[in-house]
Structure 1
Amino acid sequence: MDADVIVIGAGTSGMMAAISAAKHGAKTILIEKNKKVGKKLLLTGGGRCNVTNNREPEDIIKHIPGNGKFLYSAFSQFNNYDIMTFFEEQGVHLKEEDHGRMFPVTDRSKTIVNALWETIQQLPIQVFTGTTVKKILAEEKNIQGVILDTNERLLAPCVIISTGGKTYPQTGSTGDGYRFAKKLGHTVTPLFATESPLLSSEDFIQEKRLQGLALQDVALSVLQPATGKKAVTHNMDLLFTHFGLSGPAALRCSAHVQHLLDSHPQVTMELDALPKQTVSQTNQQLLQLQQEQGKKSVKNGWRHVLPERYLLFLLEQADIKEDMPLQTLSHQMIEQFSRLVHQFQFTVYKTWPIERSFVTGGGISLKEITPQSMESKLVQGLFFTGEVLDINGYTGGFNITAAFVTGYVAGKHASDIASYYHF
Structure 2
Amino acid sequence: MKRVVVIGAGPAGMMAAATAANRGLDVTLIEKNHRVGRKILITGKGRCNITNDCDIEELIENVPTNGKFLYSAFYTFTNTDVIDMFNKLGVETKTERGKRVFPLSDKAHDVANALEKMIKNQKVKLLLNTKVEKIVSKGSKIEKVILDNKKEILCDSLIIATGGLSYPLTGSTGDGYKFAKNLGHSIVDTKPSLIGIEVQESFVKDLEKLSLRNIEISVYNSKNKKIYDDFGELEFTKYGVDGPVIKSASCRMKDTTKENYKIVLDLKPALDEEKLDKRIQRDFKKYTNKKFENALDDLLPKKLIPTIIRLSEIDKDTVVHQISREQRKSLVHLLKNITLTVKRYRPIEEAIITSGGVKVNEINSSTMESKLIEGLFFAGEVIDVDAYTGGFNLQIAFSTGYLAGYYC
Same fold (TM over 0.5): yes
Deviates more, 1:123-132 or 1:386-395: 123-132
Aligned position for 1:253: 249
* 1:66-124 Cα deviation digits (max 9, x unpaired): 11221111111111111111111111111223322222222221111111111111113
Assess if the C-alpha contact under 8 Å between 2:51 and 2:100 holds in 1.
Answer: yes
**Does 1:215 pair with 2:212?**
yes
Secondary structure of the corresponding residue to residue 366 of structure 2: coil
| Structure 1 segment 202-351 matched on structure 2, within 5 A | 202-205=201-204, 208-226=205-223, 228-257=224-253, 259-264=254-259, 267-291=261-285, 294-295=288-289, 297-298=291-292, 301-322=295-316, 324-351=318-345
Assess if the C-alpha contact under 8 Å between 1:134 and 1:147 holds in 2.
Answer: yes
Distance in 1 (alpha carbons) for counterparts of 2:317 and 2:107: 46
Secondary structure of the corresponding residue to residue 206 of structure 2: coil
The percent identity for this pair of structures is 38
Aligned position for 2:375: 381
Aligned position for 1:395: 389
Distance in 1 (alpha carbons) for counterparts of 2:149 and 2:169: 22
Aligned position for 2:153: 154
Assess if the C-alpha contact under 8 Å between 2:40 and 2:108 holds in 1.
Answer: yes
Q: Which amino acid aligns with 1:234?
A: D
Distance in 2 (alpha carbons) for counterparts of 1:202 and 1:410: 46
Secondary structure of the corresponding residue to residue 199 of structure 1: strand
Secondary structure of the corresponding residue to residue 377 of structure 2: strand
Secondary structure of the corresponding residue to residue 349 of structure 1: strand
Assess if the C-alpha contact under 8 Å between 2:257 and 2:344 holds in 1.
Answer: no
Calculate the aligned-residue CA RMSD, in Å. 1.9
Distance in 1 (alpha carbons) for counterparts of 2:257 and 2:294: 45
Q: Which amino acid aligns with 2:347?
A: P
Aligned position for 2:131: 132
Assess if the C-alpha contact under 8 Å between 1:53 and 1:398 holds in 2.
Answer: yes
Structure 1 residue 383 displacement after superposition = 0.6
Q: Which amino acid aligns with 1:245?
A: V
**Does 1:45 pair with 2:40?**
no
| Structure 1 segment 15-54 matched on structure 2, within 5 A | 15-54=14-53
Q: Which amino acid aligns with 1:160?
A: I
Structure 1 residue 201 displacement after superposition = 3.5
Deviates more, 1:348-357 or 1:303-312: 303-312
Assess if the C-alpha contact under 8 Å between 2:251 and 2:388 holds in 1.
Answer: no
Structure 1 residue 302 displacement after superposition = 4.2
Secondary structure of the corresponding residue to residue 137 of structure 1: strand
Aligned position for 1:175: 174
Q: Which amino acid aligns with 2:165?
A: K
Q: Which amino acid aligns with 2:338?
A: F
* 1:174-198 Cα deviation digits (max 9, x unpaired): 1111111111111001111111111
Distance in 2 (alpha carbons) for counterparts of 1:95 and 1:323: 50
Aligned position for 1:120: 119
Aligned position for 1:88: 87
Distance in 2 (alpha carbons) for counterparts of 1:280 and 1:374: 54
**Aligned to 1:409, which of 400, 403, 408?**
403
Aligned position for 1:105: 104
Runs of 4+ in 1 over 6 A off after TM superposition: none
Question: Where does the alignment leave 5 or more consecutive residues of structure 2 unmatched?
Answer: none
Distance in 1 (alpha carbons) for counterparts of 2:201 and 2:283: 32
* 1:261-289 Cα deviation digits (max 9, x unpaired): 2314x532211111233222212322344
Q: Which amino acid aligns with 1:157?
A: D
* 1:129-183 Cα deviation digits (max 9, x unpaired): 1111222222221222322222222222111000110111122111111111111
Q: Which amino acid aligns with 2:226?
A: K
* 1:176-231 Cα deviation digits (max 9, x unpaired): 111111111110011111111111242213xx2111110112122222223x3322
* 1:13-52 Cα deviation digits (max 9, x unpaired): 0011111111233221111111211111112112221211
**Does 1:366 pair with 2:360?**
yes
Aligned position for 2:67: 68
Structure 1 residue 252 displacement after superposition = 1.5
* 1:344-388 Cα deviation digits (max 9, x unpaired): 112121111212211100000000011111111111111101000
Assess if the C-alpha contact under 8 Å between 1:219 and 1:271 holds in 2.
Answer: yes
Q: Which amino acid aligns with 2:150?
A: N
Distance in 2 (alpha carbons) for counterparts of 1:63 and 1:311: 35
User: What's the TM-score, normalizing by structure 1?
Assistant: 0.91
Distance in 1 (alpha carbons) for counterparts of 2:58 and 2:82: 16
Assess if the C-alpha contact under 8 Å between 2:33 and 2:171 holds in 1.
Answer: yes
Q: Which amino acid aligns with 1:125?
A: V
Secondary structure of the corresponding residue to residue 207 of structure 2: coil
Assess if the C-alpha contact under 8 Å between 1:260 and 1:267 holds in 2.
Answer: no
Structure 1 residue 246 displacement after superposition = 0.9
Secondary structure of the corresponding residue to residue 283 of structure 1: helix
Distance in 2 (alpha carbons) for counterparts of 1:303 and 1:100: 33
Question: Where does the alignment leave 5 or more consecutive residues of structure 1 unmatched?
Answer: 415-423
Distance in 2 (alpha carbons) for counterparts of 1:128 and 1:157: 18
Secondary structure of the corresponding residue to residue 189 of structure 1: strand
